[in-house]
Amino acid sequence: MNRAGQRVEPGSIAVVTGASQGLGEAIGRRLAQDGWHVVLAARRKDKLDRIVSELAAADGSAESVVMDVSDPEQVAAVIRDVGERHGRIDGLVNNAGHFSGRGILDTKLEEFRRNLVMNLEAPFLTMQAVLPFMIERGRGAIVNIGSVSGMRASENTGGYGASKAGLSHLGAIVAMEMGKYNIRVNTVTPGSTWSPTFAKSVEGKTEEEIEAMQKAGTILGRFGQPAEIADAVAFLLSDEGQFITGTNLPVDGGAYWFRGGNRLIGMRD
Q: Specify the pLDDT at position 263.
A: 45
Q: Which residues are catalytic?
A: 160
Which of residues 39 and 8 earns the better pLDDT score? 39
Distance of alpha carbon 217 from alpha carbon 229, whole angstroms: 17
Q: Specify the pLDDT at position 212.
A: 74
Distance of alpha carbon 154 from alpha carbon 152, whole angstroms: 6
Q: Specify the pLDDT at position 265.
A: 42
Domains of the chain with bracketed CATH: 13-192+226-254 (3.40.50.720)
Q: How far is CA 104 from its chain centroid?
A: 26
Residue 155 has pLDDT above 70, yes or no: no
Which of residues 220 and 248 earns the better pLDDT score? 248
3-class DSSP assignment, residue 24: helix
Burial class (CB in 10 A: 0-12, 13-18, 19+), 247: middle
DSSP code for 150: G
**DSSP states of 60-92 as a string?**
-EEEEEE--TT-HHHHHHHHHHHHHHHS---EE
pTM of the predicted structure, to 2 decimals = 0.88
3-class DSSP assignment, residue 88: coil
- Say which residues have a Cβ less than 8 Å from residue 46's Cβ, sequence separation at least 6: none
Interval 182-195 mean pLDDT = 90
Interval 23-47 mean pLDDT = 97
